[in-house]
Amino acid sequence: MEVEGAGTRGDVDSLPRGGFRCRLCHVTVANKPSLDDHLRGKKHQRLENLRSVRQSQELRSVFVSGFHKGTTALELSNYFQTYGKVLNVVMDKDKGVYAIVELQDEEILQKVLSQPQHSLGGQKLRVKPREKKDFRYTPPRKQGAARREQLSPEKLAQNLCQVDDVDAQMSLVVQLFEFSETERRLRDLVVKLFQEVFSEFFPESAILPFGSSVNGFSISGCDLDLFLDLEKTKSFQASARVAGKPQAEEEASPEMESRSEDSILTDIDLVTATVPEVLELVATVLQKCVPGVHHVQVVSTARRPVVKFCHKESGLRGDISINNKLALCNTRFLQFCTEADERVRPLVYAVRYWAKQQALAGNPFGGGPLFNNYALTLLVLFFLQTRSPPVLPTVAQLKDLSDDGELTLVDGWDCTFPKDPASLKPSGNPESRCSLLAEFFHVFESCSFAGCAISLGEGRSLPLSDFLLSEAGRKFKVGPINLQDPFELSHNVAANVNEKTALLFQRCCHNAAKYCRSLQYQHKSSKGKIWGLVRLFQPGGPQAAERLVISLPWTPASQSLCSHEQLPQSRDFHQLWFQRVRAGVSFVLEHVLKCSCSEKPQGPGEEWEAAGSDQEEEQLRTKADQWSVGSKRSLDMEEGGASPPAKKPRADTSLPTTESVIWSCTVWHRVWLGRRRVRRRFCSPEPDPKQTVDPLELEAKVSEAISQQDGETRPVDPLFRFTVCARTQDGGSGEQDTHVSLSFAPVPEQGAVFQDFFHFLQGFLPQMVERYLTTKSSGLHTPEGNPSQGITFELR
Ligand code: ATP
Ligand code: MG
């Protein structure tokens, strides 16, 4: 409620329980005496003054465009001086294509406006009164609050592990990802800026945000989807044209006349122009007239053509479309669903992030064969419609719930649903967020996508063959996943998803559903291990450990290992090669990267148990079962030392021949960070060609230096631990494999930091081991000359 007679032009709202809020200053106070203090106070007085100054400036200023690029403020000032005193000229900051000219009083302004034509330097000027806008005070940004720090997977995992249960984890995901208040305000300001500029060029137009900025599923930093509604501009243009004709002159308002003449619209007829033509115009306005906008690009080939842009100051990327009213409607629908049941948001956020981590969603540059966020959201909404009892009503039910006469037709589609979610009866479904998420995976792991069309309208899967015979079905683009838009019934929202993604989606749902049945999902770990969503959110999912493999191929450097009698195909060679690679890996991890490594002794037939592994790594263990056969022994891992060959497999000759070894490793420092910089310190700018630097020793020095930067050579707590199993095996055909594969398993709770390390190792380790084989493997033939000479060695 607005407070009357406060002398502040309705700036004050009264709040429940006796409080007040001053909208001008963004200040909330507890009671009337405090409000009076505030209204008498310096801040309020200053802002009131500022507002009246701005408003009077507005009334005396004109908006000028159409001048030559490079025209100066002084030239404009000189021109307008002929009508009276000019107080100020403000050019748009980075483009110089429009200017606000502030005149001394309104009388001069009227003189300027009554002049039918203005020109400067041979160029016709467009001169209009300024748009009237509300004065808005933007509080100064609090330090650090302007932009939320990017949330690293590591931090996310830490935060999630601390709460008590999966329901709390799901709420926390929403909190951590959604916009901060500052980001929301920043977006509002950018939208306002666009609105101001577009109103100048397209009178009566409206810029309307849609998509994740406003649909209840915001993610900090997500794109800004804008719809430029030109409907009213079209009518404006039509009336202005009529007004321009002499016989209709008396019907047009003077304001319309002056604006129509000045407008950019004289160059185009919005009713007959094609979408790309209008978008080109929009792009021109964006590029030339909106301060801070760059990288403007028209994409007219998309299903919904857009103009893409970046906004420098806010760092926002976005696009503007002009024929996407249905998106405004489905945006409202998604928002409606978030308000209808509080479980919707946590569930959608969790599924979206999971899908992104599994590389199921996140199409590069918007196009591609993966799910987009809209499609994923609809899948979740559909799932919620199909629970028993349902969490959400179907779209058909919502239509029935709308008041009579509320029919909303958009582009010929019935988009009717109630405006107010509060009109719905609460769902009688008692399922928790945690169990709904598990059920989501369970439902979709076995869904037969190919034979059906998923209908949110009816809240069920329609048999595809029947659906395709319907009117909407005839235009429907069938794909591996057929997800009908809730309103545009002939549109398959998942039409871009290819067979591979559809299969991967089901496989990932299967893995996730399996994991969700484990105690690790359902209960907080009492031992500080990762649990709940954290494991689900690991890149590649719960089975990710399987993919942490680095393969070391047989390379020409390895040829130096074999004497003439030991041919590469021979078993002896194979064993010798494995031993050398094994020594090399150990050398690189321990000596070059300063990790602590110990070889894991294993009993015969003992499983390979990755550090911290558990039942969910079944598959990994099954393999480890095989690998571990015959690998129990203590090995002399001294540099170049000729270790005894790994034992052959025991009696069971059907098993492939394996050589294997397992190490437990501890990493103390982030030795993968900033290596290039540190390396530069050790390399003299003009190397002495006679003095060669052994790259292995150089890299060891780099690791040492990075460790020392941290202060302690061995901190009390290690950074993380992992287990690595090196193995080689033949495929049973008797032919030896030409790879040693290194399978890594991090201690799960340190998965995120391990990912960085592993990524680094993928490039570093193979190069270093090869270097080791050519230079350090004792008793081997080395390539002619000094192997470290003349070889370019490039590392990150
Ligand atoms: P984010 O930008 O975070 O990925 P979003 O919901 O904004 O999420 P966009 O791809 O930017 O997704 O799409 C913006 C909006 O356009 C969506 O919210 C939806 O309203 C509409 N939209 C996107 N893809 C489709 C589609 N395939 N069919 C119909 N409408 C769509
Ligand atoms: Mg978006």
Same domain, 644 and 752: yes
**Backbone φ, ψ for residue 299 (5° rounding):** -115, 95
Share of the chain above pLDDT 70, in %: 77
User: What does the block give as tokens for 329?
Assistant: 């409607």
Name residue, tokens 């690791």. 703
Q: Please provide the DSSP assignment of 78-142 as one string.
A: HHHHTTS-EEEEEE-TTT-SEEEEEESSHHHHHHHHH-S-EEETTEEEEEEEPPP------PPPP
Same domain, 302 and 389: no
Q: Pairing state of beta strands 306-311 and 206-210?
A: unpaired
Q: Determine the atom of ligand 1 nearest the C-alpha atom of 377.
A: 6
CATH of the domain at 52: 3.30.70.330
User: What does the block give as tokens for 489?
Assistant: 């019934």
Q: Please provide the DSSP assignment of 197-258 as one string.
A: HHHHHSTT-EEEEEGGGTSS---TT--EEEEEE-HHHHHHHHHHHHHHSGGGGGGS-HHHHH
Nearest alpha-carbon partner for 44 in 19, 5, 77, 8? 8
463 SS3 class: strand
Residue 579 domain flag? yes
Q: Determine the atom of ligand 1 nearest the C-alpha atom of 331.
A: 20
Does 399 or 566 have the greater pLDDT score?
399
Ligand 1 centre distance from Cα of residue 48 (Å): 41
pLDDT (tens digit per residue) in 473-516: 999 999 999 999 999 999 999 999 999 899 999 999 999 999 99
> CA–CA separation, 480 vs 486, rounded Å?
19
Q: Does pLDDT of 184 surpass 80?
A: yes
Residue range 24-48: average pLDDT? 88
Q: Which helix (H) or strand (E) holds 62?
A: strand 61-65
Same domain, 313 and 206: yes
Q: Of 263-267, 286-290, 341-345, 663-667, which range is least confident?
A: 263-267
Cis amide prior to 246 (ω within 30 degrees): no
pLDDT (tens digit per residue) in 759-792: 899 889 999 998 888 887 654 443 333 333 323 3
Domain count, the chain: 4
Ligand 1 centre distance from Cα of residue 449 (Å): 22
Ligand 2 centre distance from Cα of residue 222 (Å): 6
User: What does the block give as tokens for 285?
Assistant: 């306005």
Q: Determine the atom of ligand 1 nearest the C-alpha atom of 219.
A: 3
Q: Determine the atom of ligand 1 nearest the C-alpha atom of 374.
A: 6
Ligand 2 centre distance from Cα of residue 377 (Å): 13
**Amino acid 539: pLDDT:** 77
Q: Determine the atom of ligand 1 nearest the C-alpha atom of 222.
A: 3
Ligand 1 centre distance from Cα of residue 210 (Å): 8
Ligand 1 centre distance from Cα of residue 373 (Å): 6
Does 720 or 734 have the greater pLDDT score?
720
Write the residue with the smallest CA distance to atom 30 of ligand 1: 327
Q: Determine the atom of ligand 1 nearest the C-alpha atom of 328.
A: 20
Q: What residues have CB less than 8 Å from 301, skipping those under 6 apart?
A: none
> CA–CA separation, 424 vs 515, rounded Å?
35
Residue 779 domain flag? yes
Same domain, 303 and 333: no
Q: Determine the atom of ligand 1 nearest the C-alpha atom of 491.
A: 28
Does 732 or 406 have the greater pLDDT score?
406
Q: Of 67-81, 644-658, 742-756, which range is least confident?
A: 644-658
Q: Identify which ligand lies nearest to the alpha carbon of 327.
A: 1
Give all strands of the β-sheet with 118-120 in edge-to-edge order.
86-91, 98-103, 61-65, 123-129, 118-120
Give yes or no for a contact between 683 and 651, defined as CB atoms under 8 angstroms apart.
no
Mutate to test the pocket of ligand 1, among 179, 374, 484 (most ligand atoms within 8 A of CB): 374
Write the residue with the smallest CA distance to atom 11 of ligand 1: 211
Residue 709 domain flag? no
* Cα angle: 135, vertex 233, 268; to 5 degrees: 125
**Amino acid 711: pLDDT:** 66
Q: Does pLDDT of 612 surpass 70?
A: no
Q: Does pLDDT of 129 surpass 80?
A: yes
Ligand 2 centre distance from Cα of residue 158 (Å): 28
Q: Does pLDDT of 390 surpass 90?
A: yes
Q: Identify which ligand lies nearest to the alpha carbon of 373.
A: 1
Give yes or no for a contact between 386 and 512, defined as CB atoms under 8 angstroms apart.
no
pLDDT (tens digit per residue) in 687-712: 666 667 788 999 999 999 988 876 66
Alpha-carbon torsion, ordered 180, 184, 186, 189, to 10 deg:
-160
Highest mean pLDDT among 455-464, 544-553, 645-654, 655-664: 455-464
Give all strands of the β-sheet with 293-299 in edge-to-edge order.
206-210, 224-229, 316-321, 306-311, 293-299
Q: Does pLDDT of 737 surpass 70?
A: no
Residue 166 domain flag? no
Q: Tell me which residue range forms the domain holding 722.
A: 549-670+717-795
Q: How many CB atoms lie within 10 A of CB 264?
A: 17
Write the residue with the smallest CA distance to atom 20 of ligand 1: 327
Ligand 1 centre distance from Cα of residue 176 (Å): 21
Residues with CB under 5 A from ligand 2 (ion): 211-212, 223, 225
Ligand 2 centre distance from Cα of residue 219 (Å): 9
Name residue, tokens 């946590």. 346
Give yes or no for a contact between 751 and 586, defined as CB atoms under 8 angstroms apart.
no
Q: Of 7-11, 206-210, 402-406, which range is least confident?
A: 7-11
Q: Does pLDDT of 56 surpass 50?
A: yes
C-alpha of 303 from chain center: 22
Q: Determine the atom of ligand 1 nearest the C-alpha atom of 494.
A: 27
Q: Does pLDDT of 59 surpass 50?
A: yes
Q: Does pLDDT of 385 surpass 50?
A: yes
**Amino acid 627: pLDDT:** 28
User: What does the block give as tokens for 553?
Assistant: 């191929």
Q: Is 697 exposed, middle or buried (0-12, 13-18, 19+ CB in 10 A)?
A: middle
547 SS3 class: helix
Residue 150 domain flag? no
Q: Does pLDDT of 522 surpass 60?
A: yes
**Amino acid 455: pLDDT:** 98
Write the residue with the smallest CA distance to atom 23 of ligand 1: 374
Write the residue with the smallest CA distance to atom 17 of ligand 1: 211
pLDDT band at 450, cuts 50/70/90? confident
Question: Ligand 1 pocket: which residues have CB below 6 Å?
Answer: 210-212, 215, 219, 222-223, 225, 327, 330-331, 372-374, 485, 491, 493
Mean pLDDT of the chain: 81
Highest mean pLDDT among 10-19, 294-303, 489-498, 650-659: 489-498
Q: Identify which ligand lies nearest to the alpha carbon of 352.
A: 1
Q: Does pLDDT of 570 surpass 60?
A: yes
Q: Does pLDDT of 619 surpass 50?
A: no
Q: Determine the atom of ligand 1 nearest the C-alpha atom of 330.
A: 20
Q: Of 53-67, 121-135, 169-183, which range is least confident?
A: 121-135
pLDDT (tens digit per residue) in 206-260: 999 999 999 999 999 999 999 999 999 998 888 877 766 544 444 445 555 444 4
Side-chain-side CA neighbours of 319 within 13 Å: the count stands at: 19
Ligand 2 centre distance from Cα of residue 143 (Å): 27
Q: Please provide the DSSP assignment of 637-673 as one string.
A: --TT--PPPPPPP-S-TTSPPEEEEEEEEEE-S-TTS
Residue 159 domain flag? no
Q: Please provide the DSSP assignment of 291-353 as one string.
A: TTEEEEEEE-SSSS-EEEEEETTTTEEEEEESS-HHHHHHHHHHHHHHHH-TTHHHHHHHHHH
Give all strands of the β-sheet with 27-29 in edge-to-edge order.
12-14, 20-22, 27-29
Give yes or no for a contact between 772 and 696, defined as CB atoms under 8 angstroms apart.
yes
Write the residue with the smallest CA distance to atom 26 of ligand 1: 493
Mutate to test the pocket of ligand 1, among 174, 224, 334, 372 (most ligand atoms within 8 A of CB): 372
Residue range 652-664: average pLDDT? 61
Same domain, 319 and 348: no
Residue 378 DSSP code? H
Same domain, 605 and 750: yes
Q: Identify which ligand lies nearest to the alpha carbon of 376.
A: 1
Alpha-carbon torsion, ordered 140, 144, 147, 149, to 10 deg:
-170
Q: How many CB atoms lie within 10 A of CB 289?
A: 18
CATH of the domain at 272: 3.30.460.10
Q: Pairing state of beta strands 413-414 and 409-410?
A: antiparallel
Write the residue with the smallest CA distance to atom 9 of ligand 1: 211
Q: Identify which ligand lies nearest to the alpha carbon of 334.
A: 1
> CA–CA separation, 463 vs 697, rounded Å?
66
Q: Does pLDDT of 735 surpass 50?
A: no
Write the residue with the smallest CA distance to atom 18 of ligand 1: 211
Give yes or no for a contact between 279 and 291, defined as CB atoms under 8 angstroms apart.
no
Q: How many CB atoms lie within 10 A of CB 104?
A: 13
Same domain, 331 and 304: no
Residue range 164-193: average pLDDT? 95
Q: Identify which ligand lies nearest to the alpha carbon of 177.
A: 1
**Can you give the length of the chain in residues?**
796
**Backbone φ, ψ for residue 244 (5° rounding):** -70, -25
Q: Of 74-78, 128-132, 150-154, which range is least confident?
A: 150-154
Residue 179 DSSP code? P
Give yes or no for a contact between 675 and 639, defined as CB atoms under 8 angstroms apart.
no
Ligand 2 centre distance from Cα of residue 99 (Å): 32
**Amino acid 537: pLDDT:** 92
Does this model's pTM top 0.75? no
Ligand 2 centre distance from Cα of residue 432 (Å): 28
Domain end among 306, 323, 340? 323
> CA–CA separation, 456 vs 384, rounded Å?
10
Name residue, tokens 């005396």. 60
pLDDT band at 117, cuts 50/70/90? very high
Question: Angle at which helices 373-385 and 344-357 pack, to 10 degrees?
Answer: 130
**Amino acid 788: pLDDT:** 35
Mutate to test the pocket of ligand 1, among 187, 219, 225 (most ligand atoms within 8 A of CB): 225
Q: What residues have CB less than 8 Å from 267, skipping those under 6 apart?
A: 281
Q: Which helix (H) or strand (E) holds 442?
A: helix 433-445
Domain end among 298, 323, 348? 323
**Amino acid 139: pLDDT:** 64
Q: Determine the atom of ligand 1 nearest the C-alpha atom of 215.
A: 18
Same domain, 407 and 469: yes
> CA–CA separation, 12 vs 20, rounded Å?
7
Same domain, 274 and 340: no
Three-class DSSP labels, 392-417: CCCHHHHHHHCCCCCCCEECCEECCC
**Amino acid 374: pLDDT:** 97
Residue range 346-375: average pLDDT? 89
Q: Of 183-187, 294-298, 784-788, which range is least confident?
A: 784-788
Q: How close are the terminal C-alpha atoms of the chain, in Å?
A: 62
**Backbone φ, ψ for residue 311 (5° rounding):** -115, 115
CA R_g for the chain:
34
Highest mean pLDDT among 201-210, 256-265, 361-370, 539-548: 201-210
Same domain, 182 and 297: yes
Ligand 1 centre distance from Cα of residue 376 (Å): 10
CATH of the domain at 514: 1.10.1410.10
Give yes or no for a contact between 259 and 203, defined as CB atoms under 8 angstroms apart.
yes
Ligand 1 centre distance from Cα of residue 331 (Å): 8
**Amino acid 791: pLDDT:** 30
Give yes or no for a contact between 635 and 643, defined as CB atoms under 8 angstroms apart.
yes
Give yes or no for a contact between 249 and 241, defined as CB atoms under 8 angstroms apart.
no
Same domain, 308 and 194: yes
User: What does the block give as tokens for 262?
Assistant: 């000045």
Mutate to test the pocket of ligand 1, among 220, 334, 373 (most ligand atoms within 8 A of CB): 373
Residue 165 domain flag? no
Give yes or no for a contact between 376 and 348, defined as CB atoms under 8 angstroms apart.
yes
Domain end among 475, 508, 523? 523
| Bridge partner list, 124 | 119
**Amino acid 751: pLDDT:** 61
Residue 164 domain flag? no
| Bridge partner list, 477 | none
Give yes or no for a contact between 787 and 556, defined as CB atoms under 8 angstroms apart.
no
Q: Identify which ligand lies nearest to the alpha carbon of 413.
A: 1
Q: Does pLDDT of 647 surpass 70?
A: no
Ligand 1 centre distance from Cα of residue 653 (Å): 57
Ligand 2 centre distance from Cα of residue 123 (Å): 40
379 SS3 class: helix
Give yes or no for a contact between 685 and 778, defined as CB atoms under 8 angstroms apart.
no
pLDDT band at 578, cuts 50/70/90? confident
Ligand 2 centre distance from Cα of residue 749 (Å): 32
pLDDT band at 345, cuts 50/70/90? very high
**Amino acid 601: pLDDT:** 63
Q: Does pLDDT of 263 surpass 80?
A: no
Same domain, 370 and 446: yes
Name residue, tokens 């980075």. 94
**Backbone φ, ψ for residue 604 (5° rounding):** -60, 135
Nearest alpha-carbon partner for 783 in 581, 553, 558, 554? 558
Q: Does pLDDT of 657 surpass 60?
A: no
